[in-house]
Copies of this chain bind each other. A is one copy, B any other.
């Protein structure tokens, strides 16, 4: 229980910010936690559940804060930063939790005042749920947080932020922004787009009804609906700001999909079997690395009605 920052301000009070507040409280990592959200409803909810000290303006929330964490959709980061910049304490650190790093750095860095440290970061954790009520203290346990230092980032500021994330349960890595964005295009952005697409297709068919799709979803489809239930604004911004890497991986995806489609059309069972065999190893690696459960069906039992 070591306080790492006396005063931490969270701007945006959704799933990630509320989980951070609870994880910091669990670990006794922050003296005071303040917060601000643009929506009055979100602020009221955060107050109701006693998440942190909630202010009605971002400037008030960040005043005197040693660490300010931007927890808004990546498309909003630049504007928020411009708004809080005049209110920041000299020597403070500003960080963020955006899923895209190059675009956030480009949008935020130019607003960072002299004497304030900017340390971009991205905790790779989340659920399909949104809002301040969705947070929980263990969200970051054994998940990775990638810190993306920019040119001239103060090393001590990076180390202190890393200590905070470790205190919240995360494993730490550092990466440059472009590599981060490519890695995330593979492990997160493209999978989300594909899941959204598949769910949209199923919803839009005339010859198969929505009620059939729902009833028979346990045959595989339901797994796609979880990530396709994620926050639309957050994901819109991710795709608009990580355009190049997402389009590159999508290109590879459609290339492989067409090869498999041709194998189906031509009846090339050997190609299919070889491809389907190769993909088992990665699952094993993920389980061995503690990044997923070994329990069949993710451990979901039958749901009783």
- Compute how far the CA of A275 lies from the CA of B297 in the bound complex, rounded to whole angstroms: 27
- Confirm or deny: A293 has a beta carbon within 8 angstroms of a beta carbon on chain B: yes
Contact (A279, B225) CB under 8 Å given A194-B198, A292-B303:
yes
The 14 sampled A-B contact pairs (Cβ below 8 Å) are A143-B302, A183-B208, A184-B219, A187-B202, A190-B198, A197-B256, A200-B256, A205-B252, A218-B292, A225-B286, A236-B272, A250-B261, A254-B257, A292-B303
- Confirm or deny: A227 has a beta carbon within 8 angstroms of a beta carbon on chain B: yes
- Confirm or deny: A240 has a beta carbon within 8 angstroms of a beta carbon on chain B: yes
- Compute how far the CA of A243 lies from the CA of B141 in the bound complex, rounded to whole angstroms: 43
- Contact indicator per residue, chain A 182-197, by CB within 8 Å of chain B (1) or not (0): 1110111111111111
- Contact indicator per residue, chain A 247-261, by CB within 8 Å of chain B (1) or not (0): 101101110110011
Q: Pick from A2-10, A52-60, A153-161, A262-270 the stretch touching chain B.
A: A262-270
Interchain residue pairs A-B with the least CB separation, the first 6: A127-B296, A188-B219, A232-B276, A141-B302, A229-B283, A225-B283
- CB <8 Å contact, A282 and B214: yes
**Contacts of A226 on B, CB cut-off 8 Å?**
223, 283, 292, 297-298
- CB <8 Å contact, A196 and B144: no
Contact (A291, B214) CB under 8 Å given A187-B221, A227-B223, A279-B228:
yes
* Partner of A279 from B196, B249, B301 at Cβ < 8 Å: B196
**Contacts of A283 on B, CB cut-off 8 Å?**
128, 199, 225-226, 228-229
- CB <8 Å contact, B216 and A240: no
- Compute how far the CA of A237 lies from the CA of B228 in the bound complex, rounded to whole angstroms: 28
* Partner of A129 from B227, B261, B282, B296 at Cβ < 8 Å: B296
**Contacts of A305 on B, CB cut-off 8 Å?**
142, 290
Query: Closest CB of chain B to A201's CB: distance in Å?
Result: 5
- CB <8 Å contact, B229 and A243: no
- Confirm or deny: A18 has a beta carbon within 8 angstroms of a beta carbon on chain B: no
CB closest chain-B residue, reference A235: B276
Query: Closest CB of chain B to A276's CB: distance in Å?
Result: 4
- Confirm or deny: A28 has a beta carbon within 8 angstroms of a beta carbon on chain B: no
CB closest chain-B residue, reference A269: B236
**Contacts of A212 on B, CB cut-off 8 Å?**
183, 187
- Compute how far the CA of A213 lies from the CA of B291 in the bound complex, rounded to whole angstroms: 11
Query: Closest CB of chain B to A166's CB: distance in Å?
Result: 14
Contact (A275, B184) CB under 8 Å given A144-B216, A216-B124, A289-B215:
no
Q: A144-B216, A186-B205, A218-B292 are in contact. List 18 more A-B contacts (CB 8 A).
A: A125-B219, A127-B297, A129-B296, A142-B304, A182-B208, A183-B213, A191-B221, A191-B224, A196-B276, A203-B281, A214-B291, A226-B297, A228-B282, A228-B283, A243-B265, A247-B261, A293-B303, A298-B298
